Structures are given as C-alpha cells and as structure tokens.
Amino acid sequence: MHKLLLGCVLLTMAFAVHAGSPLIFRVIIPNSRAETDLLKTFLQKGGKLDDYIAPPDTEFITVGKDYVLVSKRQITVTKVMEVSPRERVEQDYASDKNGNQKVKNQRVIRTIGVRLYPKDGMKFEDFTARHIGYQLLIMLDGNVISAPTINQKFSSELSITVGSKARFQKLLTTLKTIEVIP
C-alpha cells in the first residue's frame, strides 16, 4: 500500500462532507506555461477569466495570485472512511569536538491521513495510475490543500503533510465541520 505524502495530520472517524464541500482531485496540465502567458496577456488587455477559451477539456483556475491550467476531469469525494491527525518530531544531530551528540535541529511534522471508501479509492488509484508524472491538485472548500507530483499509483489512503501550525490548524478546523457518519 502506497501513501501519498502531501502535507498534514490523523483523527479516526467516518464522515461525510457537507454539501458544497467535497474533496476534489484534479491534475495540472504539464508544460502549460505558454497557454498561461496567453491568458495573462488576455487579462491585461481587459479580458475576463470566464471569457477566455482554454484548450479542450481544460480550464484555468486561480491558485493564490497565479493561474493554473487543469483538466476538467476530476474525482469528487463526498465522504471518507477515516481522517487521522498526527504529529511527530524529527531531529538532526551534530557531534561536538568531544564526539558527544547534541540535537542540532528539531522540527514538528504534521500530517492528516485520509482513507477513502473502496469505490472512491479504486477511482483514485486508477486516476493516479493514468497521470503519473502530472501534478495532482487537491482541493477542499474551493481551496488548494496541496499539489504533489504523482510519481506512482496511489492507494485509497493518503497522507497530507502541512508545514505550518497555522495551516495545519486551519485544515483541521475545516475537516471538523464534516458530518460524522454513525
């Protein structure tokens, strides 16, 4: 079983996403810089994003202050089997002149594990198998959670790694708004 390392932590409960808040997986179209530059020129000349005609089966979305060309094909997940937040501490050691080891660096790694239901998990596995080498865009509530590169087919379990404590807390808060399935 492969796990997708993205950036977050692990709660154990079954839940359904509130209407309008699905977990969405899409792929970013590789080598789309030229198309993105055309869009920026169009917008600079007064055009509107909704009026721009993107290549077939693609569309532009805004991510932060930038535009990203993505496939219109996506996987939408409205419920998952498990969400589990986790925190672990990683340490780097250095030896002093007497050979004694001391902690040089210490960082907290925060991850959120998500386990999909089997039906969605099979779709996700097939989707990632067909898009190896692409960047996967993971969105919740219209916000990008992460955008890792697909290096291999993923399983129905993924782990999202979040660097900052504030971002981690924000994602957990979002996930806590999800209804628990009895």
- Give 21-30 pLDDT, tens digit per residue: 677 888 888 7
What topology does CATH give the domain 4-31+69-96+108-180?
A: Gyrase A; domain 2 (3.30.1360)
Whether 123 has a pLDDT exceeding 70, the answer reads yes
Max CA separation in the chain (angstroms): 68
Q: Is the pLDDT of residue 1 over 70?
A: no
In the structure, what pLDDT confidence band is assigned to residue 175 with cuts at 50, 70 and 90? low
Highest mean pLDDT among 39-48, 56-65, 80-89: 39-48
**Segments of 41-175 assigned E as strands:** 58-63, 66-77, 79-95, 101-116, 135-140, 143-146, 157-162
The predicted pLDDT at position 6 comes to: 32
Q: How far apart are CA 153 and CA 129, in angstroms?
A: 4
Residue whose entry in the numeric block shows the structure tokens 């939408």: 76
Contact (Cβ atoms closer than 8 angstroms) between residue 54 and residue 97: no
What is the per-residue pLDDT for 19? 44
Query: So what's the pLDDT on residue 7?
Result: 30
Question: Both tokens of residue 118?
Answer: 């089997």
Beta bridge partners of 60: 69
- % of the chain at pLDDT higher than 90: 2
User: Highest mean pLDDT: which of 36-45, 58-67, 133-142, 156-165?
Assistant: 36-45
12, 31 contact by CB (below 8 A): no
Q: What is the mean pLDDT of residues 114-118?
A: 81
